[in-house]
């Protein structure tokens, strides 16, 4: 789920040496970095609080 911007965005000229976030596509990186940790936390929570499954 993507967060919506709080202010309207306008088309701006790209800055030199600044990567375009749309081209980077950090979703795969985010899953690799936090996916396993997220699974571990969810499993631990389910183990401690089975009534909230």
Q: According to the model, what pLDDT value does residue 20 have?
A: 74
Per-residue confidence at 46, pLDDT binned at 50, 70, 90? very high
Q: Are 52 and 45 in contact (CB under 8 A)?
A: yes
pLDDT higher at 10 or 37 = 37
Q: Are 53 and 46 in contact (CB under 8 A)?
A: yes
Q: pTM for this one?
A: 0.37
Q: According to the model, what pLDDT value does residue 5 have?
A: 59
Mark 6-30 as b/e (b = at least 16 C-beta within 10 Å).
eeeeeeeeeeeeeeeeeeeeeeeee
pLDDT in tens, 8-33: 667 778 778 877 777 777 777 677 77
């Amino acid at each position: 789920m993507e967060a919506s911007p709080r202010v309207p965005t306008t088309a701006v000229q790209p800055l030199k040496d600044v990567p375009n976030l749309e081209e980077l596509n950090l979703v795969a990186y985010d899953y690799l970095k936090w996916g396993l940790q997220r699974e571990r936390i969810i499993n631990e929570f389910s183990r401690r609080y089975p009534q909230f499954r």
